[in-house]
Chains A and B, each alone.
Chain A
Amino acid sequence: MSGMKSDVKLIDESGKRIDGRLFNEMRPIKIEAGILERADGSAYIEWGNNKIIAAVFGPREIYPKHIQDPSKAVLRARYNMAAFSVDERKKPGPDRRSVELSLVISNALSSVVFLEQYPRTAIDVFIEVLQADAGTRIAGLTAASVALADAGIPMKDLIAGCAVGKVENTIVLDLNKDEDNYGQADMPVAIIPRTKEIVLFQMDGDMDYQEIKNGLNMALDASMKVYEIEKEALKNKYIKLAGGDSDE
């Protein structure tokens, strides 16, 4: 949150946001599972103007041996932005932000994967942001969760999430880029949909208790919608296989 002052009116008199959405509307989301040949599992997501690919490799034995965990798999997510994904060309390679996001995404994914089934291995999750438009960590995490299922990794549930934020003193769902740049607060949330456990939660900006409570409720509702889109994407890829010997 830069909290930058701008001349742009982010919400107009009729309550419409700059892209025409209402306060509780998400941007359109499209997910496709299994789009890469070499990865064990993969997914592509378009969330608003975000375009992100996630790929999963493994479980695979890791070397050197000293980084193995004899009791479980190690899940390592790596969030990376393509040089051309943002307005100003980004110098390739990790920076402090991408290292932090990789960590919170790894933690969120580890909460659902049955890591103990694969001792001594690594499950590598690579998230490439090809075009960024605010909300990339949640969109990337969403794609990663679909890619894990596509790789056949055993997990308790998928993970789904959505960010909320504060714009013109209003709590709004799923900030776009301008709202993220000029708004007052941003609060990404991700959950295990079946149990509603919160596995990713960050906030920066300026919000009070009631605003956080309202925002969290909105994020939880939105996450359940994202969950349905994730399931649809996986079923679309596999439904034919599942048809089995049944009638056609």
Chain B
Amino acid sequence: MSKFTENVVSEITKDYIKKLLEKGTRLDGRTADEYRKIEVQRNFIPRADGSALVKIGKTQVLVGVKVEKGPPFPDTPNLGILATNAELVPLASPTFEPGPPGEEAIELARVVDRGIREGKVIDLEKLVIKENELVWVVFADIHVLDYDGNLFDASSLATMIALLNTKVPAKRNDLGEDFNLPINHIAVANTFVKIGDNIVVDPNLDEENIATARITVSTTEDGKVHAIQKGLEGSFTYEEILNTIDSAKRIGKDIRENIISGVD
């Protein structure tokens, strides 16, 4: 089957999903603001400095963190560096092709990165080895293993949990004892899609394939919003935007308390 085939959405499936949404339910029986089951395996890759395998339904994302020393950016000589990268490896979906990251992978990495960076999740000031010369560079590599929808939330969650269990390898670099990556805040991203006039959170692949618009909202525990990304060609109304932000604050809190907590 060609790659093209997998992208064709069946009209019957499209109509059926819409019909179910009109009745207030979804293909897998969830309500509009319900996530699929979330499972987390912390420290899945002991060789990395931090890692987490996150499953949301059948979507699986593995994030590994490596911390290395390097020169700071010239405009921020007293801050460490966060570098986020995503690989949509072809093992995860018949629609992913081998090769350098395409626009989807780059958008994914940048949206995850903004939630973490703007949420001031990592205390970058504490990652300076020698001002102007040497800082810790935190590489978060997102490796998608199985794509069944909602990579944004799975990747953000796996990145956040991986950072929470990251040890800065000072000893390996002859720079004293290892220490926990300094974390100030917990960022959580929630993604909603619009199907017809309905809005649902955590879209699975079928829902994602027929959605006309998508929005990802990243919040921290203080209720602040730090990153938003509206995606796809369709639009949201003014009220819909405000509602998703309100929902993200509520659902984000739930995920922070029930999935992430107990880590630190």
Contact = CB atoms under 8 A, between A and B. Distances in A.
Direct contact between the two chains A and B in their complex (CB within 8 A): yes
Contacts of B48: 84, 131
A78 B90 contact: yes
A53 B47 contact: no
B263 to A, nearest CB: 19
Contacts of A166: none
Nearest to A55: B91
B148 A38 contact: yes
B47 A87 contact: yes
Interface string A45-84: 0000101011101001111000000000000001010111
Contacts of A92: 85, 87, 101, 141
B12 interface: no
Contact of B47 (A55, A85, A126): A85
Chain A residues touching B, majority SS: loop
Give the interface size bracket for A toward B.
35 or more
Q: Which of A36, A49, A80 has the most CB of B within 10 A?
A: A36
B2 A61 contact: yes
Interface string B29-51: 00000000000000011111001
A73 B101 CA distance: 28
B45 A126 contact: no
Interface stretch (B92-100, B182-190, B220-228, B250-258): B92-100
B152 interface: no
Interface string B168-183: 0000000000000000
B143 A82 contact: yes
B8 interface: no
B91 A63 contact: no
B45 A130 contact: yes
B115 to A, nearest CB: 20
B179 to A, nearest CB: 19
A22 interface: no
Contacts of A132: 47
A84 B91 contact: no
A27 to B, nearest CB: 15
B45 A131 contact: yes
Nearest to A102: B98
Given A92-B141, A126-B91, A128-B145, A83 B66 contact: yes
A89 B91 contact: no
Given A55-B91, A126-B91, A78 B98 contact: yes
A83 B89 contact: no
Nearest to B5: A60
A61 to B, nearest CB: 6
Interface in A83-118: 83-89, 92-93
10 contacts: A37-B146, A39-B146, A49-B47, A80-B89, A82-B87, A82-B143, A83-B66, A84-B66, A84-B141, A130-B143
